[in-house]
Chain A
């Protein structure tokens, strides 16, 4: 009558297990951060209090969170549409720059009224983002060249080109500001403090994307291509064009993030504009898992972490600490999600 217990791995993991796993992972990551801070001679509790007060504790803090969330929701969506079909676009940073550059071109060199210029910026930015990923996407679709490395390497190119534009041909000659263009002639209207229309549009994009992919033929066919390319091929679905389409969509979403960032939040094109939003989009997509709508709370969590970074910076801790904290969090959550799939089974 001895009970043999062993562990088995679930193929479909119930969400409560994921929730528990994530709770524990986040707790573990935060504990490591707290212990490290304590070892550096800082009081983690005091810092945590400071973080809470300067984020959700004030009007400014909440506005800041919304501004951070805007690009994060979109870069998160960009990475998410790829992961959904087993494609990894880790070049959202570059596509964001491309979108921002296209929007800046319209913002600097036209004097169109806002109701023409703003939609034009959105279209141009999305096209630019899609164009930036076109070569890696086509190479992945038809030549099976891994999109991971190619999309990533173009980030460095985009960042260098934006730096070149902002300090060279497009540099601000009016106020002589360092390393940025002059202020764009038009901006997305602000409706609540510094929070601009881009926030609403980003929310709407995420919701629209979730509904669209769940209900449309395109969403279904790409999902089939992602989970079993051979089955898709035999069912008469052309895999390569759909891989291309998904990656172009991904690039367009990241480009849109760039449009809102430059024409809503920052108002000038400058080096470092992307602020790691492209990379953090990977984290947002990881947190959201299978659900598109979950991108919204995931972006909120990531925005909180970014704000934490700013708070840490004011207390003489390098702002890069936030990158390390993010890495730790991703590691913990990725491992936690996997561990949550194991259940103990008793056999007699």
Chain B
């Protein structure tokens, strides 16, 4: 019982990073921008959070700084891939290089030093005393509640119940039509990319301030790319993206458990689980259910820059 609870708790915690990154990516991709900079922005967010918290021991300040840096980096991406309309794949990969390289350079002074100011678990009365799922779901840090409950609800409401959310989706599906009825295509796309970047930066901060309280080079280890893949798996739906973050947290947690309990499998092999699991999860459903292909389809204009004169 304690094992199951531990496993779930770890899944919720490590899944929150993926969920947050994927949520940001959903926003950008729904607006038609394939944002491949998540990995780099997460890395920058993670290191900036650690540096801020080392200077001033307030985790909230670290979170804020990480969000700002994520937004700033995404601003560069928006400028190049939305305003200048350069190739989105290249710009995203470039931002990832830039983010990974820069965070390694600026993080040298704090690398390997554990931080003390982290988000502590908050137990919710009554609910946290439910056996098994109580400790796993209801005595987590405050970010977990924000990421799994508040944010997805907000994003879902915005995207599917408000006028500006409809505009956002229109820009991703058919920018020419949106433009024709007066929706500012470029502004909305840039905004979506920046918002996605803020969430990616926050996801990085979530990793260092709540999951692994230390910065080390390469610690993002593909979490940003998994987040991008989860968006495909979730069929570009915010709530599903967050839930699939939880699912992949579970896959990570199984590998982690195996290591901690000394299963007779090499740790390196166990560590391949999240990546293989992600690849399997975006391919197998397509293979098994042909009907899913249209329901889970990407926004029609995803990855294509919009030219007003283009016909």
Interface residues of A (CB under 8 A from B): 8-9, 88, 90, 135-136, 139, 143-146, 148-150, 152-157, 160-161, 163-164, 167-168, 279, 282, 286, 317-318, 320-331, 334-335, 337-339
Which 3 A-B pairs give the minimum distances between C-beta atoms?
A: A324-B101, A327-B97, A327-B98
Q: List 24 A-B contacts (CB under 8 A).
A: A88-B89, A90-B89, A139-B283, A143-B283, A144-B286, A144-B293, A146-B298, A149-B232, A149-B282, A154-B275, A160-B272, A282-B90, A321-B105, A323-B97, A323-B98, A323-B100, A323-B101, A324-B97, A324-B101, A327-B99, A329-B94, A330-B91, A334-B80, A335-B84
B87 near A334: Cβ-Cβ < 8 Å: yes
Write the B83-108 contact mask toward A (1 if CB under 8 angstroms, else 0): 01111011101111111111011001
Which of B91, B93, B108 is close to A279, meaning CB atoms less than 8 Å apart?
B93
Which of B36, B86, B217, B309 is close to A148, meaning CB atoms less than 8 Å apart?
B36
A335 near B86: Cβ-Cβ < 8 Å: yes
Tell me the interface secondary structure of chain B in the complex: helix
Interface residues of B (CB under 8 A from A): 34, 36, 40, 76, 80, 84-87, 89-91, 93-102, 104-105, 108, 217, 221-222, 225-226, 228-229, 232, 266, 268-269, 271-272, 275-276, 278-279, 282-283, 286-287, 293, 298, 307, 309
B104 near A160: Cβ-Cβ < 8 Å: no
Q: A135-B279, A149-B228 are in contact. Are A326 and B286 (CB under 8 A)?
A: no
Return the chain B residue nearest A282 by Cβ.
B93
Give Cα A320 to B228, complex, Å.
24
B279 near A153: Cβ-Cβ < 8 Å: yes
Q: Which residues of B contact A148 (CB under 8 A)?
A: 34, 36, 89
Which of B94, B232, B278, B286 is close to A330, meaning CB atoms less than 8 Å apart?
B94
Q: Which residues of B contact A322 (CB under 8 A)?
A: 101
B282 near A145: Cβ-Cβ < 8 Å: yes
Q: Which residues of A contact B286 (CB under 8 A)?
A: 139, 143-145
Which of B86, B101, B269, B271 is close to A327, meaning CB atoms less than 8 Å apart?
B101
Q: A157-B272, A338-B86 are in contact. Are A331 and B101 (CB under 8 A)?
A: no
Q: Which residues of B contact A9 (CB under 8 A)?
A: 307, 309
Give Cα A146 to B297, complex, Å.
11
A156 near B87: Cβ-Cβ < 8 Å: no
Q: A164-B268, A325-B101, A327-B96 are in contact. Are A150 and B86 (CB under 8 A)?
A: no
A145 near B266: Cβ-Cβ < 8 Å: no
A156 near B95: Cβ-Cβ < 8 Å: no
Which of A139, A153, A328 is close to B225, meaning CB atoms less than 8 Å apart?
A153
Return the chain B residue nearest A139 by Cβ.
B283
Q: Which residues of B contact A286 (CB under 8 A)?
A: 90
Q: Which residues of B contact A135 (CB under 8 A)?
A: 279, 283
Inter-chain pairs besides A318-B104, A331-B94, 19 sampled, C-beta below 8 Å? A9-B307, A139-B287, A143-B283, A144-B286, A146-B232, A149-B229, A153-B229, A154-B279, A156-B221, A156-B275, A157-B275, A161-B268, A164-B266, A168-B268, A320-B104, A325-B101, A328-B94, A330-B93, A331-B95
B97 near A330: Cβ-Cβ < 8 Å: yes
Give Cα A330 to B275, complex, Å.
26
Q: Which residues of A contact B98 (CB under 8 A)?
A: 323-324, 327-328, 331
Q: A9-B309, A136-B279, A143-B286 are in contact. Are A156 and B232 (CB under 8 A)?
A: no
A168 near B266: Cβ-Cβ < 8 Å: yes
Q: A160-B269, A334-B94 are in contact. Are A318 and B287 (CB under 8 A)?
A: no
Give Cα A146 to B229, complex, Å.
9
Q: A318-B105, A334-B91 are in contact. Are A143 and B287 (CB under 8 A)?
A: yes
Q: Which residues of B contact A324 (CB under 8 A)?
A: 97-98, 100-102, 105
B272 near A339: Cβ-Cβ < 8 Å: no
